[in-house]
């Protein structure tokens, strides 16, 4: 009997899917890191607008049929381009074929004292290029699936772009079918922050929304997985098309992490979906904290794009100035990188964590 060598080792099978169930949404998360219980196996993505947990399998956004949900990461290593994508349909190719999928329902989230009724974390590695983690979480009464994605470089990588996308079949009533009305932006939310598909008759909505400070854009396109397509921000209109968000990650050095946030939103119409997500009207929505793996600027903070809460991340100065802001420093702590500039903080610092300073320049606390 012979065994395969390390070079030809048979990869471990992907872990079995998990199901997250709340009052409004029921979602499968598969062992390849995307939504859906894998292929046409239910559940995929289900929404109950009544909030009673009554899910009709005939109204699944991902099953039956061939709807599509996935992510992609394109970039360069040593000047050579690479492209990685995973999705819920084996027939369309999966580059990361193994990973770890773990439930953390009710477990403290990111050491920040928060818990979620429903939470699953998937981590996969692409060779010696990067490790990627998707943290899916929502509470039972939530009408949106929050996603925190972290990319850790296993080598020096440049020109990284990421995309998240789906081709939903929004069928919640007679007359709905795989075709949808597709839009970017609504109710004061910018087109770059929001893209959604609306069912033809019922007007039920599934969308992707972000208020993350990372450079991003939304798009409606054909079945494309290249993040550059989504960053271009086009809209090919109504039909059985793909909706998605693209993020410009940039360059990561060996060992560097980058974290960003976005979410799937659901509703009986777009106003309900945005209201449940805390967006619309003022065009706001929950803001990212200064979190582990993330680097944010004082300009983003002062513009209101970032929550003044340190949770392991770095706040970097682009110029000298003052920030009359109250900060909370969570257990994971935080760092202010003055980067050769001077900063005066005149607000209150509170919380259990430690705040550190790095870089040339003067940090003054008053």
Phi, psi of 218, deg, nearest 5 = -115, 165
Residue 126: HSE in the Cβ half-sphere, 13 Å Cα cutoff: 24
Strand partners, 28: 19
Identify whether the C-beta of residue 95 lies closer than 8 Å to the C-beta of residue 85: yes
**Model pLDDT for residues 74-128, shown as the tens digit of each residue:** 999 999 999 999 988 776 778 888 889 999 877 765 545 567 899 999 999 999 9
Mean pLDDT over each residue of the chain, to the nearest integer: 85
- Which residues does 181 contact at the CB level (< 8 Å), separation at least 6? 197, 198, 199, 200, 238
Q: What angle do CA 351, 328, 217 make, to 5 degrees?
A: 145
pLDDT at residue 299 in the model: 64
**Model pLDDT for residues 195-224, shown as the tens digit of each residue:** 999 999 888 999 999 999 999 999 999 988
Q: Outline which parts of the chain fall under CATH 2.70.98.
A: 18-277
Helix (H, G, I), strand (E, B) or coil at 293: coil
pTM attached to this predicted model:
0.76
Record the tokens describing residue 300, joined without a space.
């983003």
**Model pLDDT for residues 257-285, shown as the tens digit of each residue:** 999 999 999 999 888 888 776 664 333 34
Query: What counts of helices (H) and strands (E) characterise the chain?
Result: 3, 29
Cis bond leading into 43, ω under 30°? yes
Record the tokens describing residue 267, joined without a space.
């509703």
CATH architecture label of 18-277? Distorted Sandwich (2.70)
Identify whether the C-beta of residue 97 lies closer than 8 Å to the C-beta of residue 34: no
Residue 29: exposure state from Cβ atoms within 10 A (0-12, 13-18, ≥19): buried
pLDDT at residue 357 in the model: 92
Backbone φ/ψ region at 302: left (φ over 0), alpha (ψ -120 to 50), beta: alpha
pLDDT grade for 62, boundaries at 50, 70 and 90: confident
Whole-angstrom distance, CA of residue 159 vs CA of residue 250: 5
Whole-angstrom distance, CA of residue 297 vs CA of residue 316: 5
């Amino acid at each position: 009997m012979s065994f395969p060598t390390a070079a030809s080792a048979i990869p471990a099978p992907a872990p079995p899917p998990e199901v997250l169930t709340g009052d409004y949404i029921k979602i499968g998360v598969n062992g390849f890191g995307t939504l859906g219980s894998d292929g046409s196996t239910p559940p995929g993505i289900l929404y109950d607008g009544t909030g009673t947990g009554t899910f009709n399998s005939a109204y699944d956004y991902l099953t039956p049929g061939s709807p599509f949900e996935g992510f992609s990461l394109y970039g360069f290593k040593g000047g050579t381009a690479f492209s990685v994508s995973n999705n819920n349909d084996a027939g369309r190719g999966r580059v990361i074929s193994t990973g770890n999928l773990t439930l953390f329902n009710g477990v403290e989230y990111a050491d920040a004292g928060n818990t979620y009724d429903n939470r699953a974390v998937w981590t996969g590695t692409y060779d010696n290029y990067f490790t990627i983690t998707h943290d899916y979480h929502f509470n039972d009464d939530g009408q949106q699936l929050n996603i925190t994605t972290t990319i850790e470089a296993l080598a020096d990588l440049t020109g990284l772009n990421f995309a998240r996308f789906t081709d939903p079949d929004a069928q919640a009533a007679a007359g709905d079918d795989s075709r949808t009305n597709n839009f970017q932006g609504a109710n004061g939310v910018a087109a770059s922050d929001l893209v959604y598909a609306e069912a033809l008759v019922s007007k039920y909505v599934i969308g992707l929304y972000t208020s993350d400070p990372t450079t991003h854009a939304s798009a409606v396109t054909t079945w494309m997985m290249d993040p550059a397509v989504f960053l271009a921000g086009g809209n090919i209109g109504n039909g059985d098309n793909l909706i998605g968000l693209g993020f410009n990650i940039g360059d990561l050095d060996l060992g560097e992490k980058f974290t960003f946030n976005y979410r799937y939103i659901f509703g009986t119409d777009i106003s309900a979906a945005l209201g449940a997500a805390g967006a619309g009207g003022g065009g706001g929505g929950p803001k990212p904290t200064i979190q582990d793996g993330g680097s944010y600027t004082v300009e983003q903070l002062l513009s209101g794009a970032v929550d003044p809460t340190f949770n392991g991340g770095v706040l970097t100065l682009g110029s000298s100035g003052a920030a009359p802001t109250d900060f909370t420093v969570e257990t994971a702590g935080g760092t202010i990188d003055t980067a050769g500039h001077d900063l005066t903080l005149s607000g209150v610092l509170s919380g259990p964590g430690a705040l550190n300073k790095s870089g040339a320049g003067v940090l003054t606390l008053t």
